[in-house]
Amino acid sequence: MSEQALHVQKPGWFTVNVFNRAVTWMTRRGISVWGSRVLAVRGRKSGEWRRTPVNLLTVDGDRYLVAPRGHVQWTHNMRAAGGGRLLLGKRVEEFTATEVADEDKADVLRAYLKRWKAEVGVFFGGVGPDSTDEELRAIAPKHPVFRLDRAEGR
């Protein structure tokens, strides 16, 4: 992976200390904010459960997690663990995750930006839901996307 593809945009103080905490607080109480969930995934080194707020996206019946800030801790942990849990209040859903190839991300990124551009658009370098497939594919390496499938028997 190139150095540019590994670039991470860290969230600002307001996002970390106010927005993420508020969304996480509501999501833990069973209130989904625009598709919010709390992602629980095992740490790739510690094996301990790590939690972060995420936006669950559904496109053509398939469910996805997109990393708007790039290759962050939860994406590294997801690759190592191959899945995790989505939490909404007391509801826990276990899933397996498959990373989507860069060349296959355009439709998912477009749908994600259509729904959450106001919240995360700054992390996509001027690319938006009306951008061409070529423009979306150009930024795809910077934004991991995982397709989620319910874990068998859960």
**What are the tens digits of pLDDT across the range 43-90?**
999 999 999 989 999 999 999 999 999 999 999 999 999 999 999 888
The answer to whether position 98 is within a domain reads yes
Contact 98, 65 (CB under 8 A): no
How many domains does the chain divide into?
A: 1
**Percent of the chain scoring above 70 in pLDDT:** 76
Angle at 110 between CA 64 and CA 59, to 5 degrees: 40
pLDDT-derived band of residue 96, with 50, 70 and 90 as boundaries?
very high
| Amino acid in position 32 | S
The answer to whether position 41 is within a domain reads yes
Stretch 25-33: mean pLDDT? 62
pLDDT-derived band of residue 1, with 50, 70 and 90 as boundaries?
very low
The answer to whether position 1 is within a domain reads no
Residue 124 scores a pLDDT above 50: yes
The answer to whether position 128 is within a domain reads yes
Residue 19 scores a pLDDT above 80: no
Buried b or exposed e, range 116-142, using 16+ CB within 10 angstroms: bbeebeebbeebebebeeebbbebbbb
The confidence score (pLDDT) of residue 99 equals 98
Tell me which residue range forms the domain holding 105: 13-150
Among candidate residues 122, 129, 127, the one with its CA nearest the CA of residue 138: 127
pLDDT-derived band of residue 119, with 50, 70 and 90 as boundaries?
confident
The answer to whether position 4 is within a domain reads no
The answer to whether position 6 is within a domain reads no
pLDDT-derived band of residue 152, with 50, 70 and 90 as boundaries?
confident
